[in-house]
């Protein structure tokens, strides 16, 4: 039997199998193309709204899950056409899936945590957050974990199942940051110098273009070693790193102007009284 006769015999004997394979592959291709086009359309809509860019990660996960389901359904349909029991197959898949679920419990928990983070818009890349005691800028968010870059340039990875179950402070969601600072000056400071110190703090805020008007400057208390002057003011930025620059600039200005005016900062001190008992 030559090769041509063999091919003719194969196709004539397996026509049903070949036709079923072709139909199922065509259906698979059709569903995959439809899924990809739908995903692209949704992705374009997300890009048009910058506030929803974190949903891109969720879209990728959903697209992959849908494709896996399509493949399983097409394979199941093909096996059913070939005479295999789909019920027995689904039972086997259910038992296998249960075993995999127990083995991958932590991973599944992290994936679910990722979905909650993305749908609730808890934070996005570039936000300054505090998560489980870790403070820094969100550098990456994936399906298993969140990566945070701290001020010390240390990259810390937090599993998303932990993130979803803890308190998250997103400082980048604030409209502005507030300065609440206390300056301790010596008890020996005269009344005139105390008032001058208050005026200096007011003047620094009024001349800084990055600080909103309406600041509060007052004597907040009398400490063990000092008179406490408190400054409360709102900045005009919600970007954490720029807020730190404003704070740093204000401290340097306060130090210079207090020193130039002869206003001394207090430090811990003790006064000892020696009792002289004369017999």
Tokens of 260: 């130039």
Cβ proximity of 168 and 131 under 8 Å? yes
Co-location of 22 and 95 in the same domain: yes
Q: So what's the pLDDT on residue 28? A: 85
Co-location of 42 and 133 in the same domain: no
pLDDT 10s digits, 263-272: 999 887 666 6
Cβ proximity of 182 and 229 under 8 Å? yes
Co-location of 55 and 136 in the same domain: no
pLDDT above 90 coverage of the chain, percent: 25
> DSSP readout, 255-269?
HHHHHHTTPPBP---
Q: So what's the pLDDT on residue 114? A: 65
Tell me which residue range forms the domain holding 226.
Answer: 178-260
Q: The domain spanning residue 168 has which CATH number? A: 2.30.30.60
Co-location of 20 and 86 in the same domain: yes
Residue 8 lies in a domain: yes
pLDDT 10s digits, 147-192: 898 888 889 988 877 777 788 888 777 788 889 999 999 998 999 9
Higher pLDDT, 29 or 119: 29
Q: Please report the beta strands in the chain, taking only residues with DSSP state E, as ranges in sequence order.
A: 128-131, 134-141, 145-150, 155-159, 168-170, 178-185, 216-222, 227-234
pLDDT 10s digits, 57-75: 667 767 877 888 888 888 8
Give CA separation, 168 vs 152, 171, 221, 252, in Å: 20, 9, 32, 32
Co-location of 167 and 192 in the same domain: no
149 CB-near residues (< 8 Å, 6+ apart)? 136, 137, 139, 155, 156
Co-location of 99 and 132 in the same domain: no
**Nearest partner of 267 among 235, 227, 237, judged by Cα:** 227
Residue 108 lies in a domain: no
Co-location of 9 and 98 in the same domain: yes
Domain count for the chain, please give it: 3
pLDDT 10s digits, 77-131: 777 777 766 666 566 555 555 555 554 555 556 666 666 666 667 778 888 888 8
Residue 267 lies in a domain: no
Co-location of 165 and 196 in the same domain: no
Return the bridge partners of 141, or none. Answer: 146
Co-location of 98 and 8 in the same domain: yes
Q: So what's the pLDDT on residue 66? A: 83
Read off the pTM: 0.52
Q: The domain spanning residue 204 has which CATH number? A: 3.30.70.100
Please identify, among 173, 206, 231, the residue that sits at the C-terminal boundary of a domain.
173
- Radius of gyration (Cα) for the chain, nearest Å? 34
Co-location of 66 and 143 in the same domain: no
Q: Please report the beta strands in 63-176, taking only residues with DSSP state E, as ranges in sequence order.
A: 128-131, 134-141, 145-150, 155-159, 168-170
Co-location of 199 and 254 in the same domain: yes
């Amino acid at each position: 039997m030559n090769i041509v006769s063999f091919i003719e015999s194969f196709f004539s004997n397996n026509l049903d199998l070949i036709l079923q394979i072709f139909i199922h592959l065509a259906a698979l291709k059709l569903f995959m193309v439809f899924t990809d086009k739908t995903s692209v359309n949704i992705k374009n809509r997300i890009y048009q709204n910058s506030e929803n860019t974190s949903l891109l990660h969720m879209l990728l996960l959903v697209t992959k899950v849908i494709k896996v389901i399509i493949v399983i359904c097409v394979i199941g349909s093909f096996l059913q056409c070939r005479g295999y029991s789909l019920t027995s197959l689904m039972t086997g898949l259910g038992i296998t899936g249960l075993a995999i679920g127990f083995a991958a419990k932590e991973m599944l928990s992290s994936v679910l945590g990722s979905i909650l983070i993305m749908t609730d818009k808890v934070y996005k890349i570039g936000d300054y957050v505090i998560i489980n005691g870790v403070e820094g800028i969100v550098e990456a968010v994936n399906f298993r974990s969140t990566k945070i870059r701290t001020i010390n340039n240390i990259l810390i990875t937090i599993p998303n199942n932990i993130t979803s179950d803890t308190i998250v402070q997103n400082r980048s969601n604030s409209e502005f940051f507030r300065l609440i600072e206390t300056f301790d000056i010596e008890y020996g400071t005269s009344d005139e110098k105390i008032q001058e110190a208050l005026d200096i703090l007011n003047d620094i805020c009024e001349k800084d273009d990055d600080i909103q008007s309406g600041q509060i400057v007052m004597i907040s208390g009398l400490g063990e070693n000092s008179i406490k002057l408190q400054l409360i003011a709102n900045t005009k930025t919600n970007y954490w790193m720029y807020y730190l620059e404003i704070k740093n600039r204000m401290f340097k200005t306060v130090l210079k102007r207090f020193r130039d005016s002869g206003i001394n900062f207090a430090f811990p001190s003790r006064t000892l009284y020696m009792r002289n008992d004369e017999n």
